[in-house]
Amino acid sequence: MARIYPFRALRYDTSRVKMEDVVTQPYDKITPAMQERYYEASPYNLIRVILGKQFPTDTDDENTYTRAAETLHDWRKEKILREEAEPALYGYSQTYTVPHTDEVRERRGFIALGHLYDYADKVVYRHEQTFPKHKSDRLSLFKATRAYCEQIYMLYSDPAFTAEKLIFGSDSAADLAITDEYGVVHKVWKLTDPQLINLIVTAMADKKLIIADGHHRYETSVAYAQERSAQLKLPLNQPYPPMNEDSRLGTGHLPVPAFPEAAMMMTFVNMEAPGITILPTHRVVYDIPAFSSPDFITKASAFFDIEQLDSPDVSILAKTPGVAIVAATGDGNYLLKAKKEVIAKELADLPTRQAQLDVVQLHSIILDRILGLSSDTITKLGNVRFIREVDEAVGLVTSGEADVAFLIKPITLDQLKDVSLSMDVMPQKSTDFYPKLLSGLAIYALD
């Protein structure tokens, strides 16, 4: 069962700070330039906790993690961050324009604590692989700060729209509304009615959850929960969440985790609702010894039908049925259309649903077999960069900084659901859900 819990969030005191100055994009989307901008925006910007600066003089006793813990402690002491008086769930909407279009969408969900399950429990499902280095970094941060400042983006299916009706059914005004640097309007509603909370808790109990964003944070949180479960001698997966006397509000009892680390802050979004956007993440490859465009195209022609293009125009991908990839090189641009029978035979060891994905064929055939970049090699050597914007990806090739850019179609929601619930995984960075969940709207403090 998918257990969720209300919680007393730490939230910024809006009489002390301007929210636009203190929230950030998720840590793994923050470039060095963005980090600097966040630092300059406010002395209370969350960047100092989730992705603090590193210095050559850092030691085991004084480093980015210890500074993050001290900063969070000071902000709580100064009441910059205040703990809510009551456990709550938080409705969360994002209104945005789909990149490179004029289409405006609204994505709705809610923020709560989600119980942490091992993938083997078949409650939470992943859809892509992760990088070990990122998990090590997040674990050090979690242990130092004893707080979860960012949310996992979870998908679930509910055609009845139970949570949405309970949270957004009234005309009550949001208690927070801010606009981020991408023009996305974020709104938050606080729900403290214990009867409504328990209705949502019950409605979510039979759901399967798919991680949209936050695989590294989720897997790190599970490892931390398992570690603490052993230390505290408390079971992580008990039959039913206990009721805590401190959680009694009015006539309702509210569930709480068996111990703080058994849950993580998550935003839950219904896959049946409108507003979900998945963008492609393109691959840029560099530092390939003696890379030759003609040689690459010759090798690729064994697996793909090749068509030369005047420019790396990705609009052709939407018009091309089946697997199609644009390769932008310093010598020319090419459309690669998969030879189904050849690739099916080459990827016979993979499930069909996975072997038919553009991103899997890119990694398994092009990067691995043709360029010699296995998943382990990519993780170890870093020959591949994952980039959202076409112009940025192509620009790195044009400037000579990269050897080739591979531009791909986005994964569809149906493909993601099919792969995930079958317990398969796609390569790293196979999806780019837009917009990202803002960090700093709520914080789950373990102490």
pLDDT, one tens digit per residue, over 81-90 is 999 999 999 9
pLDDT band for 374, please (50, 70, 90 cuts). Answer: confident
Percent of residues, the chain, with pLDDT higher than 70: 96
DSSP run (H or E) holding 199: helix 194-204
Buried b (16+ CB within 10 A) or exposed e, 98-132: eeeeeeebebbbbbbbbbbbeeeeebbbbbbebbe
CA distance 16 to 176: 14
Beta strands in 295-421 (DSSP E): 304-309, 324-329, 332-338, 384-387, 404-407
Residue 249 is predicted with a pLDDT of 34
Measure the CA–CA gap between 22 and 350, rounded to whole angstroms. 45
Report which of 257, 262, 247 is spatially closest to residue 192, judged by C-alpha positions: 247
Torsion on CA atoms 24, 380, 278, 388, rounded to nearest 10: 70
Burial class (CB in 10 A: 0-12, 13-18, 19+), 45: buried
What pLDDT, on the 0 to 100 scale, is given for residue 245? 47
The average pLDDT across 375-396 equals 88
Question: Average pLDDT for residues 120-148, to the nearest whole number?
Answer: 89
Q: In Å, how far from its chain's centre is CA 358?
A: 20
CA distance 64 to 49: 8
pLDDT for 176 equals 96
Mean pLDDT of all residues belonging to the chain: 92
Mean pLDDT of 138-146: 94
| H or E stretch covering 110 | strand 104-115
More confident residue, 248 or 240: 240
pLDDT at position 247, please? 41
Cβ proximity of 285 and 403 under 8 Å: yes
Nearest partner of 63 among 132, 130, 145, 168, judged by Cα: 145
Classify the C-alpha dihedral 271-257-226-138 as positive or negative. Answer: positive
Q: Which two tokens stand for residue 19?
A: 């929210």
Taking residues 32-39, report their average pLDDT.
97
146 has pLDDT over 90: yes
Q: Does 299 score more than 60 pLDDT?
A: yes
Nearest to 211 by CA among 55, 396, 403, 421: 421
pLDDT of residue 241: 47
In this prediction, residues 403-425 reach a mean pLDDT of 94
Averaged pLDDT, 234-256? 60
Which tokens in the block code for residue 166?
């309970």
Backbone angles phi, psi at 420, to 5 degrees: -65, -50
Q: Mean pLDDT over residues 107-135, rounded?
A: 91
Q: Select from 184, 189, 179 the least CA-distant residue to 18.
A: 179
pLDDT of res. 161: 95
Whether 251 shows a pLDDT value over 80: the answer reads no
Which pLDDT band, with edges at 50, 70 and 90, does 253 fall under? confident
Residues facing residue 385 across a β-bridge: 284
Query: What band does 4 get if pLDDT is binned at 50, 70 and 90?
Result: very high
Q: From the centroid of its chain, how far is CA 369?
A: 29
Could you tell me if residue 382 is left (phi over 0), alpha (psi between -120 and 50 degrees) or otherwise beta? left
Report whether pLDDT(153) > 80: yes
- Per-residue model confidence as pLDDT tens digits over 156-190: 999 999 999 999 987 788 999 999 999 999 999 99
pLDDT at 246: 47
Residue 240 pLDDT: 47
* Residue 204 vs residue 376, higher pLDDT: 204
Nearest C-alpha neighbor of 444 from the set 245, 268, 263, 247? 263
Cα–Cα distance list, 237 to 67, 114, 143, 228 (Å): 33, 13, 21, 13
Say if residue 152's pLDDT is above 70: yes
In this structure, what DSSP letter does residue 121 have? G
- C-alpha distances in Å from residue 370, one per residue of 60, 234, 273, 299: 43, 50, 40, 7
> Residue 133: which pLDDT band, with cuts at 50, 70 and 90?
confident
> Is residue 65 pLDDT above 70, yes or no?
yes
Nearest alpha carbon to residue 218 among 292, 130, 133? 130
